[in-house]
């Protein structure tokens, strides 16, 4: 080897070795003292061992700012390619400068070009504050330093590839708006924070004295704002859960989700299902248990588990194929539809529709929650998002009404004609209508009931008559062409799997247009 080549190779190795140390041993140790992993340790857990290829590792080395505070590149998860970056808080605090911003931008852009998922690991306070007096105005300096808007590739990639954001520290500004444009956000309890304006500015301007946890902690965003989809106990568990989520998803809109040999018999029947759901429509039951009985091996990944818990959404498998499950939860607000649950439902269904994931609707709802709080919060506007998402969706959709669906609940869960649900099934105990049996009897027979010698007996007789004539799915099936069948609970899993096999080749041709205008 020639001396110059040998010298340059040795120099290259030294520079790269130093780059791997980020901000140095002392700052990396500080990460561990805070209970946090380093940027590279996070990538080691997220990606398959030895699969990471780094881009622009030499950026910033002359200034002593390794990678300009972000590690970017690509690797594999379960053998499938992904593009990823991991912000390094040990270098310039993880702040976003020009080169840092460009590396973020290019990572998303490359993922979109290659049609592979993107995962961003965020640990940054936001844009790097420029030094004044350098010949540029403040705004011009911010634009120069930020390296362009990451929001553009995030938006262009929406619906093209799955995008996942992981919040690993206290993030603000650009470091929260980019994640807000992705499909799923993960946060770590007691470690992750997201806010547009930090506690000090809030206190100065609004006189609100809040901690970071109170203002924008993982619990706040998991339970109140609905910003985050997953609140995890620690970083390692979080990164492993990201891998699990990606196992349900295709690499892009051009592919079907991966098929997994789960070993669960597609013809399996389940006699316990009939015992899980009480016939009395006023008694609660846990829909989570029903879902676990239906999906392969009880494996269900719930999304936004702590937010709007009257609605359950998440991913499972039926005969090894990914499905998106949308289900009412009678244990919370009796399964009523609300402002928050409408947002949760519509957003999830639109994701499934983007990525060729069939939707299963499990219905048990008394309709929209009444009252001024919901009306004033815009239930009409938010409920319209659900109707839009239902009617817009092109993927196969199968609905099963387990017990009841009254009033607007039939619209919000897509069980009426014209909502583009492909197949509709009832269990034998189903009650459907504008309102429940008791309310209907009280409305139509109120005067006669009051005048009857024994009002209670009169009401009981009318209730029995109503149930037999108007709330009996076996009778309804004889005149309702839109109802595919009344099935035994034990057959539900098998019926769903056979339905999806039929619908696998479903194709929908839509009216050409730029895009629709979904209610916001």
Q: What confidence category does residue 148 fall into, taking pLDDT thresholds of 50, 70 and 90?
A: low
pLDDT at 136: 52
pLDDT at 437: 65
Q: Tokens 């009216």 identify what position?
A: 511
Per-residue pLDDT for 131 more than 70? no
Share of residues in the chain with pLDDT > 90 (%): 75
pLDDT at 160: 98
Per-residue pLDDT for 155 more than 80? yes
Q: Pick the more confident residue, 132 or 303.
A: 303
Of the candidate ranges 50-59, 194-203, 219-228, 384-393, the one whose mean pLDDT is the lowest: 194-203
Would you state the structure tokens that stand for residue 450, as one six-digit string? 């009051």
Which one, of 81, 86, 65, 83, lies nearest residue 73 by Cα?
Answer: 83
CA gap 150, 507 in Å, rounded: 34
pLDDT at 138: 47
Q: Ranked by mean pLDDT, which of 187-201, 337-351, 446-460 comes out on top?
A: 337-351
Query: Tell me: the pLDDT tens digits for 381-423?
Result: 999 999 999 999 999 999 999 999 988 999 999 999 989 999 9
Per-residue pLDDT for 75 more than 60? yes
The whole-number average pLDDT for the span 29-38 is 92
474-502 burial by CB neighbour count: b if 16+ within 10 A, else e? eebeeeeeebbebbebebbbbbbbbbbee
- Which option is the CATH number for 273-436+472-503: 3.40.50.720, 3.10.640.10, 3.20.20.210, 3.90.226.10? 3.90.226.10
Per-residue pLDDT for 216 more than 90? yes
Q: Can you give the three-state secondary structure of 9-62, one letter per residue?
A: HHHHHHHHHHHCCCCCHHHHHHHHHCCCCCHHHHHHHHCCCCCCEEECCCCCCC
Q: Do domains 22-248 and 273-436+472-503 have the same CATH topology?
A: yes
Q: How confident is the prediction for the chain on average, in pLDDT?
A: 91
Q: What confidence category does residue 290 fall into, taking pLDDT thresholds of 50, 70 and 90?
A: very high
CA gap 222, 219 in Å, rounded: 5
pLDDT at 144: 52
CA gap 248, 184 in Å, rounded: 13
Per-residue pLDDT for 236 more than 70? yes
**Half-sphere exposure of residue 123: CA atoms within 13 angstroms, side-chain side:** 27
Would you state the structure tokens that stand for residue 485, as one six-digit string? 């069948």
Q: What confidence category does residue 473 fall into, taking pLDDT thresholds of 50, 70 and 90?
A: confident
pLDDT at 74: 98
How many Cβ atoms from other residues are within 10 Å of residue 143's Cβ? 17
Instruction: Identify whether the C-beta of residue 408 lies closer than 8 Å to the C-beta of residue 379.
Output: no
Distances (CA, A) of 376 to 110, 310, 518, 520: 44, 19, 20, 15
Pairing assessment for the beta strands 70-77 and 53-55 based on DSSP bridges: antiparallel
Q: Pick the more confident residue, 309 or 25.
A: 309
259-297 burial by CB neighbour count: b if 16+ within 10 A, else e? ebebebebeeebeebeeebeeebeeebebbebbebbbbe
Q: Pick the more confident residue, 455 or 347.
A: 347
What distance lies between CA 416 and its chain's CA centroid?
Answer: 26
CA gap 397, 256 in Å, rounded: 16
pLDDT at 145: 45
CA gap 251, 82 in Å, rounded: 8
β-partners of residue 120 are 85, 165
Q: What is the fold, at CATH topology level, of the domain defined by 22-248?
A: 2-enoyl-CoA Hydratase; Chain A, domain 1 (3.90.226)
Q: In the chain, what are the domain boundaries?
A: 22-248, 273-436+472-503, 443-470
CA gap 355, 314 in Å, rounded: 14
The whole-number average pLDDT for the span 223-249 is 98
Q: What confidence category does residue 192 fall into, taking pLDDT thresholds of 50, 70 and 90?
A: very high
Per-residue pLDDT for 446 more than 90? no
Please give the helix or strand (H or E) that residue 246 lies within, else none.
helix 235-248
Per-residue pLDDT for 426 more than 60? yes
Q: Could you give the angle at the alpha carbon of 489 between the alpha carbons of 434 and 316, nearest 5°?
A: 95
> In the 8-state DSSP scheme, what is residue 217?
B
């Amino acid at each position: 080897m020639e001396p110059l080549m040998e010298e340059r190779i040795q120099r290259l190795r030294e520079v790269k070795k130093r780059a791997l140390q980020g901000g140095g041993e002392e700052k990396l140790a500080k990460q561990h003292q805070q209970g946090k992993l380093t940027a590279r340790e996070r990538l080691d857990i997220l990606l398959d061992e030895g699969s990471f290829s780094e881009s622009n590792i030499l950026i910033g080395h002359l200034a002593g700012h390794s990678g300009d505070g972000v590690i970017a590149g690509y690797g594999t998860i379960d053998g499938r390619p992904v593009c990823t970056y991991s912000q390094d808080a040990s270098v310039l605090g993880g702040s976003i400068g020009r080169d840092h911003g460009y590396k973020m931008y290019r990572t998303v852009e490359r993922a979109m070009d290659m049609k592979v998922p993107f995962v961003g690991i965020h640990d940054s306070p936001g844009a790097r504050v420029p030094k004044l007096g350098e010949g540029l105005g403040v705004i011009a300096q911010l634009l120069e330093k930020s390296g362009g808007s990451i929001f553009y590739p995030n938006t262009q990639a929406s619906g093209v590839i799955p995008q996942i954001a992981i919040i690993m520290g206290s993030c603000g500004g650009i470091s929260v708006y980019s994640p807000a444009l992705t499909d799923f956000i993960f946060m770590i309890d007691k470690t992750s924070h997201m806010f547009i304006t930090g506690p000090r500015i809030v206190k100065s301007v609004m006189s609100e004295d809040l901690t970071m946890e109170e203002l924008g902690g993982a619990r706040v965003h998991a339970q109140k704002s609905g910003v985050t989809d997953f609140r995890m106990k620690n970083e390692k568990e979080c990164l492993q859960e990201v891998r699990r989520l990606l196992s349900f998803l295709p690499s892009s809109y051009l592919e079907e989700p991966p098929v997994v040999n789960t070993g669960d018999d597609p013809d399996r029947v389940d006699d316990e299902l009939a015992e899980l759901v009480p016939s009395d429509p006023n008694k609660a039951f846990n829909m989570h248990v029903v879902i676990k009985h239906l999906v392969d091996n009880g494996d269900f990944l719930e999304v936004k588990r702590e937010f709007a818990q009257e609605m359950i959404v998440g991913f499972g498998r039926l005969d090894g194929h990914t499905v998106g499950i949308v289900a009412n939860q009678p244990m919370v607000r009796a399964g009523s539809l609300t402002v928050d649950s409408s947002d949760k439902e519509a957003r999830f269904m639109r994701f499934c529709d983007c990525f060729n994931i069939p939707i299963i609707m499990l219905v048990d709802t008394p309709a929209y929650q009444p009252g001024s709080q919901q009306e004033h919060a815009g239930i009409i506007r938010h409920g319209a998002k659900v109707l839009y998402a239902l009617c817009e969706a092109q993927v196969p959709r199968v609905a099963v009404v387990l017990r009841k669906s009254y009033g607007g609940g039939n619209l919000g869960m897509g069980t009426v004609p014209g909502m583009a649900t492909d197949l509709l099934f009832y269990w034998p105990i189903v009650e459907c209508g504008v309102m429940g049996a008791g309310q209907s009897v009280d409305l139509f027979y109120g005067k006669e009931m009051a005048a009857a010698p024994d009002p209670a007996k009169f009401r009981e007789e009318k209730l029995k008559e109503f149930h037999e004539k108007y709330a009996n799915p076996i009778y309804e099936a004889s005149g309702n062409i839109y109802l595919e069948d009344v099935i035994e609970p034990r057959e539900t899993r098998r019926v769903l799997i056979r339905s999806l096999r039929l619908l696998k080749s479903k194709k929908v041709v839509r009216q050409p247009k730029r895009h629709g205008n979904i209610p916001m």
